[in-house]
């Protein structure tokens, strides 16, 4: 497996699916990615705001493993970092197998705490038809497997750049598996 690292950092001030690549993003503790439309202490995703705008924002930072992009490209999809809405594209970390509460140190200072899975939305179909189905699967028991990345909150702020190392700190057992947030 690759040494865990940040492959790309992405942000968008607008509520757009695609987030353009940046040279650096700044994570703000308890808030999210500075300047990103989804940053804030309370929910910012439009559907969640409509339901209850006072809910805590468990989706401050969206991370996708670059290996998913590799898999999708091998299956004929044209995807690049940031196109599926992620703020941080990683390499060498099995994000989907991390338990809730895992802390990821991104670079020298920033730390995010994993809150759950991203539930893929139909907007993925605007990138390429069939993409939403491609990021969903079934496990051996027939349960739905969501592969579109994970969500996190910012525990410690700092700048994050492509090439930064990622350190993984698992929470104390018992571990709780990821569910959509």
pLDDT digits (tens, 9 = 90+) for 7-63: 999 999 999 889 999 999 999 999 999 999 999 999 998 888 889 989 999 999 999
pLDDT at 89: 98
Is residue 31 situated within a structural domain?
A: yes
Residue 137 has pLDDT above 90, yes or no: yes
In a domain, 62, yes or no: yes
Q: CATH number of the domain that 141 lies in?
A: 2.40.33.20
Give the mean pLDDT of 75-85.
Answer: 95
Per-state percent for the chain, helix, strand, coil, to nearest 5: 15, 35, 50
- Residue 81 near residue 153, CB atoms below 8 Å: no
Strands (E), the chain: 5-10, 21-22, 25-28, 32-33, 61-65, 88-91, 103-106, 110-117, 136-138, 144-146, 150-156, 158-160, 166-169
pTM of the complete model:
0.96
Is a pLDDT exceeding 60 seen at residue 1? no
Q: Which domain holds residue 76?
A: 5-169
Q: At 123, phi and psi to the nearest 5?
A: -60, -25
Tally of domains within the chain: 1
In a domain, 176, yes or no: no
């Amino acid at each position: 497996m690759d040494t865990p690292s940040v492959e790309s950092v992405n942000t968008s001030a607008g509520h757009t699916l695609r987030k353009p690549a940046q040279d650096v993003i700044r994570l703000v503790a308890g808030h999210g990615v500075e300047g990103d439309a989804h940053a804030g202490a309370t929910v910012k995703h439009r559907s969640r705001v409509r339901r209850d705008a006072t809910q805590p924002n468990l989706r401050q930072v969206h991370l996708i493993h670059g290996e998913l992009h590799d898999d999708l490209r091998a299956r004929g999809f044209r995807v690049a970092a940031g196109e599926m809405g992620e703020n941080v594209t990683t390499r060498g970390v099995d994000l989907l197998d991390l338990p809730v509460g895992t802390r990821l140190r991104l670079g020298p200072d920033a730390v995010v705490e994993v809150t759950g899975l991203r539930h893929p939305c139909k907007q993925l179909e605007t990138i390429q038809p069939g993409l939403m189905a491609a990021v969903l699967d079934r496990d051996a028991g027939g349960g739905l497997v969501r592969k579109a990345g994970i969500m996190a909150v910012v525990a410690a702020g700092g700048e994050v750049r492509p090439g930064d190392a990622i350190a993984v700190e698992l929470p104390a057992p018992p571990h709780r598996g990821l569910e959509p947030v």
